[in-house]
């Protein structure tokens, strides 16, 4: 694990109750940061994870709210900043595929209006809402934003047409925000390959093996592998902005 001293820094991680979000929140807190963990208001996993990390001596607080809902996302960010007193890092990790199974590109009828709206509101517009609400606080502290895209956003198929499109748009948003919030705030993205999370662990074994076979490092990513990339882009990389860091073990080589 890479090391950094984040004492005195405050971070907000959306979708932080499980998987990559939880690994990221944990790693930032282990490095000395105080971390607000966003989770859905009705998700018991959020308070449970906050309690567990607090018991480990880490400085974390809960930040309930749904980033896919206009107004709710902004209120969550504002409440978190109010509770912390400042904000140095925003990790836009919350996202959804909207489906447990892959939807082949040929099945256009499954790309309904409701499906599109769910994915765009969560994966793309939700990230913008949070960045917009956090911009002033991040500028004051010359902070950083890291958006969680996917290799589906850089040319891979992904779970559906809508998912890939939402993640591709998040890459574009990352670059636009990097221009718009410069020079005070750096904005980058991480594009994971297949990662061991509660969502992917229910996938068929052949789908997991396909990812291992495709990756030149011959394994699937752990959430901590992705969290390390986020830590690097938050705490280091002082001349890196508008960049997409691919963390996939070589799946896209």
Tell me the C-alpha distance between 78 and 76, whole Å.
6
For residue 221, list its beta bridge partners. Answer: 195
Contact between 119 and 163 under an 8 Å Cβ cutoff? The reply is: yes
Sole residue written with tokens 């994971």: 192
User: Which strands, in side-by-side order, build the sheet including 10-13?
Assistant: 60-64, 34-39, 10-13, 89-92, 144-148, 186-192, 244-247
* Distance, CA of 169 to CA of 61 (rounded, Å): 30
3-state secondary structure of 88: coil
232 as an active site residue: the answer is no
- Cβ atoms within 10 A of the Cβ of 243, count? 15
CB under 8 A, 24+ apart: contacts of 227-230: 227/20, 227/23, 227/24, 227/26, 227/27, 227/28, 228/1, 228/2, 228/27, 229/190, 230/24, 230/27, 230/28, 230/91, 230/146, 230/148, 230/190
CB contact at 8 A, 174 and 187: yes
Structure tokens at 23: 């690994």
Q: Which residues pair with 148 in a beta bridge?
A: 190
Q: Looking at 15, 19, 163, 247, which residue is catalytic?
A: 163
**Positions marked active-site:** 163
């Amino acid at each position: 694990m890479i090391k950094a001293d984040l004492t005195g820094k405050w971070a907000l991680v959306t979708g932080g109750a499980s998987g990559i979000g939880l690994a990221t929140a944990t790693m930032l807190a282990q490095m000395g940061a105080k971390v607000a963990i966003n989770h859905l208001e009705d998700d018991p996993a959020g308070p449970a994870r906050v309690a567990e990390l607090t018991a480990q001596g880490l400085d974390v607080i809960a930040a309930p709210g749904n980033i896919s809902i206009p107004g709710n996302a902004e209120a969550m960010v504002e409440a978190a900043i109010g509770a912390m007193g400042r904000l140095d890092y925003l990790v836009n990790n919350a996202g959804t595929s909207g489906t447990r199974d892959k939807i082949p590109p040929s099945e256009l009828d499954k790309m309904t209006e409701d499906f599109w709206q769910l994915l765009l509101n969560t994966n793309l517009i939700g990230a913008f809402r949070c960045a917009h609400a956090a911009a002033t606080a991040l500028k004051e502290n010359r902070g950083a934003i890291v958006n969680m895209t996917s290799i589906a956003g850089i040319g891979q198929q992904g779970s559906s047409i809508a998912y890939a499109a939402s993640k591709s748009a998040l890459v574009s948003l990352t670059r636009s925000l990097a221009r718009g919030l410069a020079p005070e705030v750096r904005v980058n993205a991480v594009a994971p390959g297949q990662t061991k999370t509660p969502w992917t662990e229910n996938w068929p074994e052949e789908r997991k093996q396909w990812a291992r076979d495709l990756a030149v490092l011959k394994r699937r990513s752990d959430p901590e592998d992705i969290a390390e990339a986020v830590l690097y882009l938050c705490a280091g990389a002082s001349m890196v902005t508008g960049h997409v860091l691919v963390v996939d073990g070589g799946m896209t080589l």
